Chain A
Amino acid sequence: MNDEMIKTDRVITQSQADTLAALLSHIIPASQDGRMPAATDIEFESYVASIEPNFAAELPSALDYLAFVAGSKMRFEALTDAAQQAAIEQSQQKLNKFYSILTPIVFACYYQNEKVLEGLGLESRAPFPKGNDVELGDLSLLDPVRTRGPIWRQSDEG
Chain B
Amino acid sequence: MVNKTVDVLIIGAGASGAAAAWSLADTGMHIMCMEQGDWAQQSDYPSNTKDWEVRRHKEMSASPNVRQMKSDYPINDQDSPISVVNYNGVGGSTVLYAAHFPRLHPSDFKVNSLDGVAEDWPIDYFQLEPYYQLNDKNIGVSGLDGDPAYPDKQLPLPPIPMGKMGNVIGAGFNKLGWHWWPSDAAIISQPYEGRDRCINLGPCISGCSQGAKSSADVTYWPMAIRAGVELKTGCRVREITVDDQGMATGVIYYDEQGQEQEQKAEVVIVACNGVGTPRLLLNSKSKLFPDGLANSSGLVGKNLMMHPWNHMEGFFEPGLDSHLGPQGSCVLSQQFYESDATRDFDRGYGIQVTRGSAPVATAINGYNRGDIPWGDGHHDAFKKYFGTNIAVGVCAEDLPELHNCVTLDPEMTDSDGIAAPKINYRLSENSLKMLAHGRARSRELLEAAGATQINDYGQIRYAGWHLLGTARMGRDPATSVVNEWGRSHDVKNLFIVDGSIFVTSAAGNPTTTIQALALYIADTMKKNLANLFD
Contact = CB atoms under 8 A, between A and B. Distances in A.
Interface of A: 26-29, 31, 36, 51, 103-104, 107-108, 110-112, 117, 120, 122, 124-139, 141-142, 144-146, 148-155, 157-158
Contact of A137 (B146, B164, B174, B367): B164
Interface string B124-136: 1100000000000
Given A120-B386, A125-B50, A142-B170, A152 B338 contact: yes
A128 to B, nearest CB: 4
Q: Is the interface of A mostly helix, strand, loop or mixed?
A: loop
- Those 10 A-B pairs whose CB atoms lie nearest each other, nearest first: A131-B199, A137-B162, A137-B166, A128-B209, A111-B359, A127-B201, A155-B106, A107-B363, A127-B47, A153-B107
A110 B202 CA distance: 20
Interface stretch (B17-25, B242-250, B373-381, B473-481): B373-381
6 contacts: A28-B374, A129-B199, A137-B182, A139-B182, A152-B106, A155-B109
Contacts of A124: 50
A51 B58 CA distance: 10
B98 to A, nearest CB: 16
A141 B113 CA distance: 36
A105 to B, nearest CB: 9
A99 B385 CA distance: 22
A122 B383 CA distance: 12
Contact of A157 (B45, B114, B161, B179): B114
B338 A126 contact: no
B467 to A, nearest CB: 25
A137 B131 CA distance: 30
Size band of the interface chain B makes with A: 35 or more
A63 B386 CA distance: 31
B54 interface: yes
Interface stretch (B148-156, B395-403, B453-461, B526-534): B148-156
Given A136-B161, A144-B177, A145-B179, A111 B363 contact: yes
Contacts of A117: 359
B203 A127 contact: yes
Given A135-B163, A144-B177, A112 B50 contact: yes
Contacts, number: 165
Interface of B: 45, 47-54, 105-107, 109-110, 113-114, 124-125, 144, 146, 148-151, 159, 161-164, 166-167, 170-171, 173-174, 177, 179-182, 199-203, 209-210, 321, 324-325, 334-335, 338-339, 359-360, 362-364, 367-368, 374-376, 378-379, 386
A145 B47 contact: no
A107 B367 contact: yes
Contact of A108 (B53, B180, B379): B53
B359 A122 contact: yes
Contacts of A27: 374-375, 378
A112 B53 contact: yes
A111 B366 CA distance: 13
Given A112-B360, A137-B164, A137-B170, 12 more contacts: A112-B50, A126-B49, A128-B209, A129-B199, A134-B321, A137-B167, A139-B144, A141-B174, A142-B144, A152-B338, A153-B106, A153-B339
Given A132-B202, A152-B106, A152-B148, A141 B374 contact: no
Nearest to B378: A28
Given A36-B379, A120-B386, A108 B54 contact: yes
B209 A129 contact: yes
Scoring B50, B53, B105, B181 by chain A CB atoms within 10 A of each residue's CB, the highest score goes to: B50
A31 B381 CA distance: 12
Nearest to B386: A120
Contacts of B338: 151-153
Contacts of A149: 148
Nearest to B152: A150
Given A137-B170, A154-B106, A112 B51 contact: yes
B106 A135 contact: no
Given A126-B49, A151-B149, A155-B125, A134 B379 contact: no
Given A108-B360, A137-B162, A128 B201 contact: yes
Scoring A26, A144, A155 by chain B CB atoms within 10 A of each residue's CB, the highest score goes to: A155
Contacts of B53: 108, 111-112
A94 to B, nearest CB: 18
B364 to A, nearest CB: 5
Given A27-B374, A126-B50, A155-B124, A136 B162 contact: yes
Contact of A131 (B49, B201, B362): B201
A141 to B, nearest CB: 4
Contact of B148 (A126, A136, A150, A153): A150
A40 to B, nearest CB: 13
Contacts of A136: 159, 161-162
A110 B51 CA distance: 11
A120 B151 contact: no
A103 B373 CA distance: 10
Contacts of A132: 199-202, 324-325
A126 B45 CA distance: 11
A66 B144 CA distance: 58
A129 B376 CA distance: 36
A31 B376 CA distance: 8
Contacts of A103: 364, 367, 374
A120 to B, nearest CB: 7
B200 A131 contact: yes
Contacts of A141: 167, 170-171, 174
A110 B114 contact: no
B161 A135 contact: yes
A126 B148 CA distance: 39
B364 A104 contact: yes
Contact of A155 (B114, B144, B179): B114
A142 B374 CA distance: 43
Contacts of B151: 152
